[in-house]
Structure 1
Amino acid sequence: MTASLTSDILPAGPDGVLVRFALRPDPVAMTAAQVLARGLQDHPPAGVVEIAPGLVSVLLRFDPARTDRARLAARLGPQASAIAADPPPQPAPLRRWTIPAVFGGQHGPQLAEVARMAGIDEQQAIQTICGSDLNVLTIGFAPGQPYIGLLPQAWDIPRMSELNPRVPAGAVVVAVRQIVMFSAESATGWRQVAQSAFRNFDPDRNTPMPLLAGDAIRYTPVTADRLRELAAAPDGLGGATLEVLA
């Protein structure tokens, strides 16, 4: 049976409308948000100046000189309701990235803690991350920074009660069945399990933000010495490879 969705149309600031399908990162709601965002990007409503998909929602910003919130909500309501009433299947990914990473130790100092919380050992945790069907769910928080998932239900691990004061760029961190791979050094409430040399954002690269929502992601474990070699690659991809699937 297909999951039941709602489609709430909500105000967002002085010039925004948020279409929300769920309150939690439900896979069906995430697919609904992706389908709505793609449809709107192909046929943007009059007056819309930005379309920003989230995990289970889509934010639209509009030019008040060209449209207003009521008119935009009336335009979005039937489209969102139709998607919620008959949620589409998750589209197959068109591309797959394979990203090398070092797990555990100084490169993943909280891997053991995460494994205990998931009820498995460290090696099983690495195998789960590297063996799961993962996709870029959305890009946000920092330029090019991906939210990746979903991990199995046992990985519905809460964020930490206190911030980790620093994780480096390329850190692979987990919480609430998701992975974030950081674009820049940052504080975070997520637990670091690995380190990559992948740079999500480089303004000097031909494609500054290489990852796209919907891309399939696979992590592959490497040694620390190998990661140092990969980090020297001038493209900033840290040895990641891209496979076109369709």
Structure 2
Amino acid sequence: MLSFQPLGDTGVRIGMGDEIRPDINRRIRSYCNALEKNEIHGVSEWVPAYCSVTVYYRPHLIGYDELCRRLEALAERVEETSEADSRVWVLPVAYGGECGPDLEDVASRNGLSASEVIRIHSRSLYRVYMMGFVPGFPYLGGMSDSIAAPRLSNPRPRIPAGSVGIAGSQTGVYPLETPGGWRLIGRTPVRLYDPDRERPMLLQAGDSIRFQPVDSEEYREIRERLNRGEYTIRHQSNGEIQS
């Protein structure tokens, strides 16, 4: 059951549930695919979120009521997206030390060792529910509550690109150097956002991530290979790991 509400005078929010769940995420992805395949005159773009899709439109081309009618009718033509259509990216991560200055703190808060935090964090499959506050930032679901930790009371003014952090029961990756208050446990050399790539953002909503622990030497080697254009990020699709 869809719900519609205006978002300013150029947007409509389509609610698809009130919980962060994989089945709702699949429904949102399927609906976005339908928007892609069935152009609605006057619609300029759409933005998927945890439990909703926001559709932006040009009110001089289509009115709010007419748009809602067409968006509701579109729901009847949605083809369900399967999990096989989702990509699983494998991101190498150097945990702790300079790359993860808050790893020991996260471990201490949860009565764990640093190696246990790494094991728990890297064994999960994380779903990209939506893309956030800077280009390429993935909001992930699937982290174990056993390694949850609150945001820093005083955010850092500069966080290196690629930093992997924890905030509450969420984990995420900073694609750019920005301020931030998440507790940093590691860093990946993979660029989640690169304006010079044909497709600047590596990830998209509906993808999944696995974090693969690497040591500091492997991290430097991968970073150098990336800089030379010799490293291809692995991803898994339909059960196969691809390079």
- Alignment size in residue pairs: 237
Structure 1 CA distance for aligned equivalents of residues 134 and 229 of structure 2? 17
Q: Choose from 24, 40, 62 the match for 1:67.
A: 62
Q: CA deviation at 1:90?
A: 6.7
1:36 matched to 2:31: yes
The one-letter amino acid paired with 2:94 is V
After TM superposition, list the pairs within 5 Å mapping 1:73-222 onto structure 2. Answer: 73-77=68-72, 91-155=83-147, 157-222=149-214
Cα separation, partners in 2 of 1:47 and 1:222, compared to 1, 3 Å: same
Question: CA offsets per residue over residues 123-176 of structure 1, 9 Å max, x none?
Answer: 221111211122222223222222222212445544344323221101111224
Contact 1:100-1:238 within 8 A present in 2 as well? no
Match in the other structure for 2:215: 223
Structure 1 CA distance for aligned equivalents of residues 147 and 40 of structure 2? 38
The one-letter amino acid paired with 1:243 is Q
User: Identity, % of aligned pairs?
Assistant: 30
Q: CA deviation at 1:209?
A: 1.9
Q: Choose from 223, 237, 243 the match for 1:244.
A: 237
Structure 1 CA distance for aligned equivalents of residues 169 and 75 of structure 2? 26
Cα separation, partners in 2 of 1:158 and 1:79, compared to 1, 3 Å: farther
Q: CA deviation at 1:235?
A: 6.4
Q: Choose from 30, 51, 57 the match for 2:52.
A: 57
Structure 1 CA distance for aligned equivalents of residues 127 and 48 of structure 2? 15
Unaligned runs of 5+ in 1: 1-5
Structure 2 CA distance for aligned equivalents of residues 78 and 154 of structure 1? 43
Contact 2:96-2:104 within 8 A present in 1 as well? yes
Cα separation, partners in 2 of 1:117 and 1:7, compared to 1, 3 Å: farther
* Counterpart secondary structure, 1:100: strand
* Counterpart secondary structure, 1:227: helix
* Counterpart secondary structure, 1:106: coil
Structure 1 CA distance for aligned equivalents of residues 159 and 139 of structure 2? 16
Cα separation, partners in 2 of 1:237 and 1:42, compared to 1, 3 Å: farther
Contact 1:19-1:80 within 8 A present in 2 as well? no
Question: CA offsets per residue over residues 91-143 of structure 1, 9 Å max, x none?
Answer: 34532221111111221111223234445332221111211122222223222
Cα separation, partners in 2 of 1:156 and 1:29, compared to 1, 3 Å: farther
Give the RMSD, CA atoms, in angstroms. Answer: 2.9
Structure 2 CA distance for aligned equivalents of residues 8 and 67 of structure 1? 19
Q: CA deviation at 1:217?
A: 1.3
Cα separation, partners in 2 of 1:73 and 1:242, compared to 1, 3 Å: same
Structure 1 CA distance for aligned equivalents of residues 101 and 76 of structure 2? 44
Contact 2:117-2:147 within 8 A present in 1 as well? no
The one-letter amino acid paired with 2:183 is R
Q: TM-score, normalised by structure 2?
A: 0.82
Structure 2 CA distance for aligned equivalents of residues 22 and 161 of structure 1? 32
Cα separation, partners in 2 of 1:29 and 1:161, compared to 1, 3 Å: farther
Structure 2 CA distance for aligned equivalents of residues 235 and 58 of structure 1? 38
